[in-house]
Amino acid sequence: MEIIVCVKHVPETAEADLVIDESRKRIKTEDLVFDINEWDEYALEEAVLLKEKYGGSVTVITIGPEDAEDTLRKCLAKGADKAIRVTDKAIEGSDGYAIAKILYNVVKDLRFDLILCGAQASDDGYAVVGVMLASLLGIPYATMVRKMEIGDGVAKVTRELEDGLEEIVEVKLPAVLTIQTGINKPRYASIMSIRRARQKEISVLDLKAVNLAEDEVGEKGSWVIVDELFVPVRKKKGEILSGDLDQVVSKIVEVMKERGVLK
């Protein structure tokens, strides 16, 4: 099976303090740690598992600056065979639509049975790239995949719905599937294996190489433009307690008592 995985190199923000830069459209990233987008990690693991089962090869593609190669090397260490990075100054400010256009231009001339993407990215959460890519390619797709079985020219997938429900859908290959977390247990990529992956080549392409004009990407090529990032105003007038733990705990227990939940 020839599988393509689209991966994104994103900042880890859960434990970090985020600072909006002067442009107000981006955050300052110098002090942030970057890693592969969590959903994409599951997508890559699924691709490598399929390769181990059916043979074939896995190609990973990312769009980003040079340090995005850390994510590509991690993928190569885990079992991807080829890596492609698309980079160009004009790409800055691209939304999901612009990204999908770039990926389309890279992928349309490649041979593939399956394209896997994470269901969404942890930084912007647009959750559109996979479906848009499939639409541009004119191939079937399914999103939020929690389980997949490859049959004869088809993929039978279990899609996650709400309220604990799931639905089973069958798509003909080649197809795009967007992957939900929890579908598998991603393996570890040791530092030595990542080092060894340096021997594998990463093709670097710019806009010219993928036949796109500057106004087809970046803000000019996007449908959604970020005007201004801001710290959310706390909607709820909740009370935040900190300080001496025993006092805080007593206060909370008082509140619980008042609300009648301590029976």
Partner 1 sequence: MREILVLAEHRLGKLRDITFEMLTKGRQLALEAGATLSIALLGYGVESLAEELADYADEVLLIEEKRLENFNSEYYQQVLSHIILERKPEVIFLGHTSYGLELAPALAIKLNIPIVTDVIDVYFEDGKFMAIRDFYGGKLQAKVSLRKSTQYIATIRPGVFKAEKGKRRGNVNKLSPPDLTDITYKKFIELVKPPAEAVDISTADIVVAVGRGIGDAKNLHLIEELSNVLGGVVACSRPIVDMGWLPKERQVGISGKTVKPKLYLAVGISGQFYHVYGMMNSELIIAINKDPHAPIFNVADYGIVGDLFEILPRLTKKILEEKSAGASSQ
Partner 2 sequence: MTAKILEKEELMLIKKLDFNVCLQCGRCTSSCPIFPKTGLNARTLVRKSLYFVSPLTVHPPLDLSDVNKVWDCTTCNICVVRCPRDVKPMDIVVGLRSILIERGEVPPTIIDALENIYKFGNPFGLSRSKRVEWAKDLNVKRVSEGNKAGLLYFVGCVPSYESRAQEVARSIAITLNGLGIDFSILGEKENCCGNEVYSLGEKGLFEVLVEENTKLFQQYGVNKIITTSPHCFNALKNRYKLNDIEVQHYTQFFADLIDKNKLKFSKSIDKKIAFHDPCYLGRHNNVFDEPRRILENIPGVELVELRHSKSRSICCEGGGGRMWYDPPGEESRLAEDRVNEAVELGVDILAVACPFCLLTLEDALKKTGNEDKIQIKDVMEVVRECL
Q: At what angle do helices 129-137 and 96-107 cross, to 10 degrees?
A: 40
Least Cβ distance, residue 192 to partner 2 (angstroms): 4
Q: What letters, b where the CB count within 10 A reaches 16 and e where it falls short, cover 183-196? A: bbebeebeeebbee
Query: Taking CB within 5 to 8 Å according to partner kind, which of partner 1, partner 2, none is near residue 227?
Result: partner 1
Query: Which stretch in 160-168, 182-190, 197-205, 252-260 sits in contact with partner 2 by CB under 8 A?
Result: 182-190
Query: Can you read off the two tokens belonging to residue 18?
Result: 């985020």
Site for partner 2 in 43-72 (CB under 8 A): 52
Least Cβ distance, residue 80 to partner 1 (angstroms): 22
Query: Taking CB within 5 to 8 Å according to partner kind, which of partner 1, partner 2, none is near residue 66?
Result: none
Least Cβ distance, residue 201 to partner 1 (angstroms): 32
What is the phi/psi pair of residue 222, to 5°?
-100, 160
CA distance 75 to 93: 25
DSSP state of 35: E
Query: Taking CB within 5 to 8 Å according to partner kind, which of partner 2, partner 1, none is near residue 187?
Result: partner 2
What is the phi/psi pair of residue 67, to 5°?
-70, -10
DSSP state of 27: B
- Please say which residue, 188 or 223, places its beta carbon nearer to partner 1: 223
Site for partner 2 in 189-228 (CB under 8 A): 189-195
Q: How many residues bind partner 2 (CB under 8 A)?
A: 21
The DSSP annotation for 178-192 comes to EEPTTSS-PPP--HH
Query: Taking CB within 5 to 8 Å according to partner kind, which of partner 2, partner 1, none is near residue 262?
Result: partner 1
Contact status: 81 vs partner 2 (CB under 8 A): no
Query: Can you read off the two tokens belonging to residue 124?
Result: 């912007």
- Please say which residue, 90 or 100, places its beta carbon nearer to partner 1: 100
Contact status: 31 vs partner 2 (CB under 8 A): yes
Contacts of 164 (CB under 8 A, 6+ apart): none
Contact set with partner 2 (CB under 8 A): 12, 14-17, 31, 33, 35, 52, 78, 185-195
